[in-house]
Every structure is written in structure tokens, then in C-alpha cells.
Amino acid sequence: MINMHEQFLRKLDELSRLALEMNGTKYPYSDMDLCNALLILMEVFMSKIVDHHGGKLPQEGMEKLAEEAGKSLRQSMILFTGVDPHKVLQSDVNNI
């Protein structure tokens, strides 16, 4: 039986291969699609931050670093796409 992490990695590999095949073609994506991709990025990105900084910073330092990384990604999303992930995800929660 494969665990959740192994399932995630298999799906991630499958999605990345599909994305490479679609390269160069403009497809329509919703704001929620963008946020879903961001959530996947955040999972891997935060893990790599821990790999890189873990053991070098105290817990409080790691929490601040993770918070700043999240803020930076959010600001980049807003700057380059006009999409605020917080607003999109809050709207999604309110529609459940």
C-alpha cells in the first residue's frame, strides 16, 4: 500500500509531464485553478525551506521564515496576475 506522500509524488510527476506536453499552448484557467497550483507549490516549497534551514534556525525563526515566504509568494501572485489567493480561497470556503 502506498502512503499519501507517495501518491502525491506520483500525481505531481503525472501533472508535470502533462504540463510539459501542453507547453506553448494558452489554456484558460480560473483563479481557483491558479490557487490549486499555488497550494501544490507551497507544499513542496515549504518542505524545501525546512530542508535548507532546518536545524540552523530556532522554531520561531523557521515560523517567521515560512510566513515571509508565504507573503512573498502571495504578493508575487497579486503583482503578476492580479489574483489574491486569500480572497479566492476565502470565497471558495464561503461557497461550501
DSSP state of 57: B
Regarding pTM above 0.85, the answer is: no
Q: What is the pLDDT of residue 91?
A: 86
Residues with Cβ within 8 Å of residue 83, at least 6 apart in sequence: 31, 34, 35, 77
Residue-by-residue pLDDT tens, the chain, 96 positions: 679 999 999 999 999 999 999 988 899 999 999 999 999 999 999 999 999 998 899 999 999 999 999 999 999 999 999 999 999 999 877 776
d(C-alpha 15, C-alpha 9), whole Å: 10
